[in-house]
Amino acid sequence: MDATLAPHAHDEHPSGLARWLTTTNHKDIGTLYLWFSLAMFMFAGALAMVIRAELFQPGLQLVDPMQFNRLTSMHGLLMIFGAIMPAFVGFANWQVPLMIGAPDMAFPRLNNWSFWLLPVAGALLLASFFVPGGALAAGWTMYPPLFMQGGIAYDMTILAVHVLGLSSIMGAINIITTILNLRAPGMTLMKMPLFVWTWLITAYLLVAVMPVLAAVITMLLTDRHFGTHFFNAAGGGDPVMFQHIFWFFGHPEVYIMILPAFGIVSTIIPTFARKKLFGYTSMVYAVSSIALLSFIVWAHHMFTTGMPVAGQLFFMYATMLIAIPTGVKVFNWVATIWRGSLSFETPMLFAVAVVCLFTVGGFSGLVLALVPVDIQLQDTYYVVAHFHYVLFSGAAMSIIGGVYYWLPKWTGHRYDERLGQWHFWLTTIAFNVTFFPMHFLGLAGMPRRIPDYALQFADFNQIASLGGFVLGAAQLLFVYIVVKCVRGGEPAGDKTWDGADTLEWTLPSPPPYHSFTTPPKID
């Protein structure tokens, strides 16, 4: 028989760098996403450390105002597009095929491409620090007319965001196709684990809003270089139109960063309560309604732009409506914990912290939804406190909890539980010390994105900076724990978490046989 036709004749498995560059294995690609996310998280966190060092006392210490704005802009862009979103895509790559009984993602080569676009875009963003004029200083929201006056760094930012968006859309298409087409026999949509549901809905949101972001930054680009006047008032354009289009993307984007977190928390809590998730169906409907409502609340970011009272009222009521399905989710998590057989390993600690602290962020969001209050608090540190309670204690802490939960599954080793608990308490306490005082700074009127401030704000800023430094240092411990676990340690065994690992499958009977390390034997 011709050697070219022999089975497995071309089954060489590349190793080293070639393996990671060419891999189409969903686990490898999930791992790449998670390492990339961790690198960006640490870098963006380092920028935050410089910001907090500058704000430790009034006056200008380390950076000039323009450099300070560059730090805040880059911190925001890297945390959103470089850290949080890739981490959740990494979880999806690792867990979705395992949870639905699929051999891999639907489009493995597309999966590889969608990852490798990320380092390119990340490098473009970071390189903008080193071009003449320095990195983006107009805020991560890229508002005109500020955005019209920058140098080449602004064009590099536009290109980087385009590439990041392209990666997100391809990843989302892959996830949707995988979930809809590759489920194990017998797994109907309403039997899928909630993590899979949250990612299905998130992927639809990504496909819907990423082209909107691409459109608006392309309009910015043509305004900057090709003589159009979309947002140039002198040429008959409207700078506020940019805000409408941008936030039509931006608000669903917030839910893109939080819905997978809900899925992770809904996986961890039942495991450590030794109970099934309370109200599965209502959770699915709650996630779906949050996603739908996220499209009609964008202008609550714009209450101070002079919109008509009728518009303000509509967006105020629509925003408050989102609190209802969110409240359903929190109630269901608490009901799952209620009278469960609880144990508090590190993943459970993070999940409980997410439920408590994300609720604080939700309440401050309700406060900001009230038009007369928001007009006072717009662009103050109250807003900074609000979105960090949503995005750090909601998204980032659920990512960290998910890493602890699945590390034994991914590596075959147990992580160091004692160090994990230290990491949890340091992170949670330092986070609250950092961001809780910002509510008071905002209520007292301190504006965001400024490197200098009045003496009356000094004490709270000093407390926040000290908390921030501890929070940053605690994440170095996290990196150490992860690396130590990957390199070896106590074997994880078949059932890492005593009792409820099987809840990952919601089929009434055991799932069909799948060995995810070797291909199935086909006669």
Q: How far is residue 515 CA from its own chain's centroid?
A: 31
Return left, alpha or beta for 59; rule: phi > 0 is left, psi -120 to 50 is alpha, else beta.
Answer: left
Catalytic position from the list 31, 128, 202, 266: 266
Distance CA 275, CA 500 (A): 8
Options 33, 94, 255, 415, the catalytic residue: 255
Residues 95 and 192: their CA atoms lie apart, in Å, by 12
Catalytic residue among 52, 162, 300, 423: 300
Active site includes 497?
Answer: no
267: annotated active-site residue: no
Active-site residue 104, yes or no? yes
Could you tell me how many helices (H) and strands (E) the chain has, helices first? 18, 0
Q: Please spell the DSSP secondary structure of 83-151, one letter per residue.
A: IIHHHHHHHHHHHHHHHHT-SS-S-HHHHHHHHHHHHHHHHHHHHGGGSTT-S--STTTT-TTGGGS--
Q: At what angle do helices 85-100 and 26-54 cross, to 10 degrees?
A: 150
Which of the residues 26, 183, 329, 386 is marked catalytic?
329
Active site residue 229: no
Torsion angle in degrees (nearest 10) through CA of 165, 166, 168, 169:
120
Of 203, 197, 202, nearest in space to 170 by CA: 203
C-alpha to C-alpha distances, 157 to 77, 246, 504, nearest whole angstrom: 9, 15, 40
Which residue in the list 168, 336, 393, 427 is annotated as catalytic?
Answer: 168
Q: How far apart are CA 400 and CA 99, in angstroms?
A: 20
Options 28, 54, 223, 253, the catalytic residue: 253
Does residue 292 contact residue 285 with C-beta atoms inside 8 Å?
Answer: no
Out of 20, 35, 104, 504, which one is annotated catalytic? 104
Q: Is 167 a catalytic residue?
A: yes
Q: What whole-number distance in Å separates Cα of residue 28 and Cα of residue 19? A: 9
Q: In angstroms, how far is the first alpha carbon of the chain from the final one?
A: 19
Known active-site residue 266: yes
Answer yes or no: 255 catalytic: yes
Q: Determine contact, residues 78/42, Cβ cutoff 8 Å.
A: no
Q: Identify whether 145 is preceded by a cis peptide bond (ω within 30 of 0).
A: yes
Residues near 306 by beta carbon (within 8 Å), at least 6 away in sequence: 240
CB contact set of 355 (below 8 Å; sequence gap of 6+):
265, 269, 330, 333, 334
- Alpha carbon of 453 to those of 58, 63, 403, 443: distances in Å? 6, 14, 39, 15
- The verdict on whether 448 is a catalytic residue reads yes
What is the maximum span of the chain, computed from C-alpha positions, in angstroms? 85
Cβ atoms of 318 and 297 closer than 8 Å: yes
Q: Which of these is catalytic: 52, 75, 183, 388?
A: 75
| Contact assessment for residue 159 and residue 123, using Cβ atoms and an 8 Å cutoff | no
Describe the crossing of helices 323-337 and 259-273 by its angle, rounded to 10 degrees: 20
Q: Is 505 a catalytic residue?
A: no
Catalytic residue among 157, 167, 319, 346: 167
Is residue 504 annotated as a catalytic residue, yes or no? no
168 is catalytic: yes
Catalytic site residue from 326, 336, 346, 434 = 326
Residue 281, helix vs strand vs coil:
helix
191 belongs to the catalytic site: no
**Active-site position among 52, 183, 251, 423:** 251
User: 454 is written with which tokens?
Assistant: 């009045």
* List 27, 191, 448, 484, catalytic entry: 448
Active site residue 289: no
Sequence letter at residue 197? W
The residues assigned a catalytic role are 75, 104, 140, 167-168, 251, 253, 255, 266, 300-301, 326, 329, 448
